[in-house]
Amino acid sequence: MISFMGNSIGQLFSEVGRARINNRLGLSRLYPGILGLILIAGQPVHAMDYSSLYAQLSPSVVTIRTLSRSDMATGRLSGSGVGSGFMIEPDLVMTAAHVVQDARLIRVVFKDGLQLSAQVIASIESTDAALLRLDKAHPNPVTVTMGSSESVTVGEPVFVIGAPYGIGHTLSVGHLSGKLSRSLIAGGAPVKLLQTDSAINPGNSGGPMFNQHGEAIGIVSFILSNSGGFNGIGFATSVETAHDALFNSSGFWAGFEGVLLDDNQAAALNLPAPGILVQRVVNGSVADQSGLKAGTLPARLGEHDMLLGGDVILEINGLVCADPHDFRELSEAARRLRPDQGYQMRVFRRGELLSLTALAKDPQVFMD
């Protein structure tokens, strides 16, 4: 039996009817039996109040507005270039890679109205995580506390703060609906994702997913939707995955994204050998300084969408790039390089074999 504040169902309906009449007569009053404590099977259930957590955490969340190459002619910040992010240091903002990957101008908007420019210092499309450095630190920074997605179980409350459709610092509440692993890009390794029924819409990307204690456990990444709006299924990259990708990889690997082409794909594209087809290069990164060129032509190869026209990396420091094992070996070799060492790359570009050189680490684009 379900009862409300000790009242029977009949008494409740009677009270509701009187409340409606009183409301029509201008005698509206709040009936605590409806909005207060609910008794289910004799046990009290309370709706969690997020107002204190919101007041504490919302200043750490930012709205990110970007200007892309196509907008450079007008000099106006595109309305479609809107995302979210959150501060982890007084001058560092974490966000989603797809929010800033192609940006040429980035403006970070804080809850207090302050707007600061920022630069991408690392962007990993395979985990949809990016790191921005503000041109100057916020004078009164509020940073998030990182939590553990491992400690949150399916069914626990979670909440998201972000800028859906550009409306900054919007709160949405839900639950952790599931945990799964899937690749976010063609040829990429599986990424640990957190599923939620918290409302997520365009503009929320890059914002934090918090646990019920106010600790960041994920970076909002994408939704599954036929309409383009939220249909109850949203996903965030776990903070452990994002942090490892951004802080535990070399500046070179953090500076570009690529698709690993196998023998069949390489043959279909008339390439001399399998390799890494470069998709995007982060402006100002070590990869960019080496002269590595990104793809420009959207295409579909088999079941995978990708950008054609970019460099194909065949070797790095003598190691070939032919299968996922090679890719992991290359990454591990990159971690072992000293700051004074560099990468010697053999790339295929427009029918020619070229050699490119990149420094192992650049303090402007690499975070220890």
The reply to whether 128 belongs to the active site is yes
Catalytic residue among 60, 71, 84, 98: 98
In the set 84, 126, 149, 205, the catalytic residue is 205
- At 135, list the tokens: 């041109």
Per DSSP, the three-state class of 163 is coil
Our measurement of the distance from residue 42's CA atom to the centroid of its chain's CA atoms, rounded to an integer in Å, reads 42
DSSP letters along 255-320, please?
GEEEEEE-HHHHHHTT-SS-EEEEEEE-TTSHHHHHT-----EEEEETTEEEEESS-EEEEETTEE
DSSP 36: S
Annotation marks residue 46 as catalytic: no
Is the Cβ–Cβ distance between 65 and 207 less than 8 Å? no
Residue length of the chain: 368
- The catalytic position among 60, 71, 84, 128 is 128
**Cβ(1)–Cβ(10) below 8 Å:** no
Q: Which amino acid is at 85?
A: G
Q: Which amino acid is at 14?
A: S
Please tell me whether residue 21 adopts helix, strand or coil conformation. helix
Amino acid at 175: H
- Is 205 marked active-site? yes
CB count in 10 Å sphere of residue 352: 7
Q: Tell me the C-alpha to C-alpha distance, in Å, between residue 186 and each of 100, 259, 279, 317.
A: 20, 6, 11, 24
Do 78 and 68 form a contact (C-beta atoms < 8 A)?
yes
Dihedrals phi, psi of 302, to nearest 5 degrees? 65, -120
What positions carry a catalytic annotation? 98, 128, 205
